């Protein structure tokens, strides 16, 4: 497994690490129920994404309709982490990246997809003190 970069200097000893993340908020295709979308997301797409080279973590958040049956603005959110921007770019350019990207229209509306990317600073030590 790839290690996150530990920040040096003033932040040293603070438990601060830095990595690169991609956050995608996604909306299912209009012809799918949330359950159909979720089944594809977890059964097909997540396993494809797990094969991305250099991927450190993969988190998925499911946003089902409310108890009253009302849809939320998005059906899910995926947070993927790499060691660096270069590692992220290499993953997307890989054969596995092409397969994961090609799968997106099979279960979500690409026009409704909101993707944010950037460096992440993570503090683990000294919180809640």
Q: What is the pTM of this model?
A: 0.83
Q: For the chain, which residues make up each domain, given as ranges? A: 19-106
pLDDT digit string (tens) for the chain, length 129 residues: 344 554 444 544 566 778 999 999 999 999 999 999 999 999 999 999 999 999 999 999 999 999 999 999 999 999 999 999 999 999 999 999 999 999 999 999 999 999 999 999 877 666 666
The fold of 19-106 is Alpha-Beta Plaits (3.30.70)
Give the per-residue pLDDT at 7. 47
Q: Is 94 helix (H, G, I), strand (E, B) or coil?
A: coil
- Give φ, ψ of 44 to 5 degrees: -120, -55
């Amino acid at each position: 497994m790839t290690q996150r970069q530990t920040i040096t200097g003033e932040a040293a000893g603070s438990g601060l690490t830095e990595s690169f993340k991609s956050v995608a908020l996604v909306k299912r295709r209009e012809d799918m129920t949330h359950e159909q979308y979720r089944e594809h997301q977890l059964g097909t797409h997540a396993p494809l994404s797990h094969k991305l080279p250099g991927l450190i973590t993969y988190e998925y958040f499911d946003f089902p309709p409310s108890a009253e049956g009302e849809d939320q603005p998005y059906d899910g959110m995926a947070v993927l982490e790499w060691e660096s921007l270069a590692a992220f770019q290499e993953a997307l350019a890989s054969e596995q990246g092409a397969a994961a990207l090609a799968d997106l229209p099979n279960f979500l509306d690409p026009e409704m997809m909101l993707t944010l990317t950037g460096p992440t600073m993570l503090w683990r030590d000294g919180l809640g003190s």
